[in-house]
């Protein structure tokens, strides 16, 4: 996906979120758009094929979804087909989820650790990060033994490198300067 598509996906997700929020349906739409993206992931090419008519694409969409979706979500998916932007759906669904979480005061943090964290360490890290940014933080923890020790946290645009590898790299840069 190129940068323009990424920006477009975010704009479409934001528009859908604003529309759903006005109707107080953001939770339902978040679930539906994520479910639709997963359900349609294997048939994405069919909704972008130039030889399939617009009405056939919409009919195929309704058949694939089985009438389980709200009018708002179904109409939005049809709009993506009409505007030839259906290929944005997976990224759009991810962006919608992030926007929905931001609206609820929830942020996701990507955490790399040198060793697996136990429950107490995980809870402490969540609490400290939540206190730091003033929002609820959900951790996505991965073990990365190349860090040698410590932790690296990515939270939005912010990165905290408390790893031994990062500290050694900073020390080397200061000594070389």
Q: How many domains does the chain have?
A: 2
Q: Can you give the pLDDT at residue 44?
A: 87
Whether 40 and 116 map to the same domain: the answer is no
Whether 18 and 83 map to the same domain: the answer is yes
Q: Residue 40 CB: number of other CB atoms within 10 A?
A: 20
Place of tokens 């909704």: 47
Whole domain around residue 46: which residue ranges? 3-102
Query: Across the chain, what does the average pLDDT equal?
Result: 91
Please compute the mean of the pLDDT values over residues 68-93 and round it to a whole number: 94
End-to-end Cα spacing for the chain: 39
Could you say which of 46, 78, 102 is where a domain stops?
A: 102
- Segment among 38-47, 73-82, 83-92 with least mean pLDDT: 38-47
Q: Using the predicted structure, report yes or no on whether residue 1 has a pLDDT greater than 70.
A: no
Q: What gap in Å lies between CA 171 and CA 165, rounded to an integer?
A: 10
Please compute the mean of the pLDDT values over residues 99-116 and round it to a whole number: 92
Rg for the chain, CA atoms, rounded: 21
For residue 50, the domain's CATH number is: 1.10.520.20
Q: What is the pLDDT of residues 135-166, one digit of tens each?
A: 999 999 999 999 999 999 998 888 999 999 98
Tell me the whole-structure pTM to 2 decimals: 0.74
Whether 147 and 165 map to the same domain: the answer is yes
Q: Can you give the pLDDT at residue 125?
A: 93
């Amino acid at each position: 996906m190129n940068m323009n598509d990424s920006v477009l996906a975010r704009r479409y997700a934001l528009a859908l979120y604003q529309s759903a929020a006005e109707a107080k349906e953001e939770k339902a739409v978040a679930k539906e758009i994520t479910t639709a993206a997963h359900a349609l992931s294997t048939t994405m090419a069919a909704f972008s094929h130039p030889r399939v008519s617009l009405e056939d694409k919409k009919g195929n969409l309704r058949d694939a979804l089985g009438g389980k979706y709200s009018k708002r979500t179904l109409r939005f998916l049809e709009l993506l087909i009409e505007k030839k932007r259906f290929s944005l759906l997976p990224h759009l669904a991810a962006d919608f989820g992030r926007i929905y979480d931001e609206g609820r005061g929830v942020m996701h943090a990507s955490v790399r650790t040198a060793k697996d964290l136990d429950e107490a360490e995980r809870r402490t890290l969540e609490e400290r990060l939540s206190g730091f940014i003033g929002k609820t933080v959900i951790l996505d923890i991965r073990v990365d033994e190349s860090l040698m020790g410590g932790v690296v946290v990515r939270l939005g645009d912010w990165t905290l490198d408390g790893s031994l590898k990062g500290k050694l790299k900073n020390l080397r840069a200061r000594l070389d300067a």
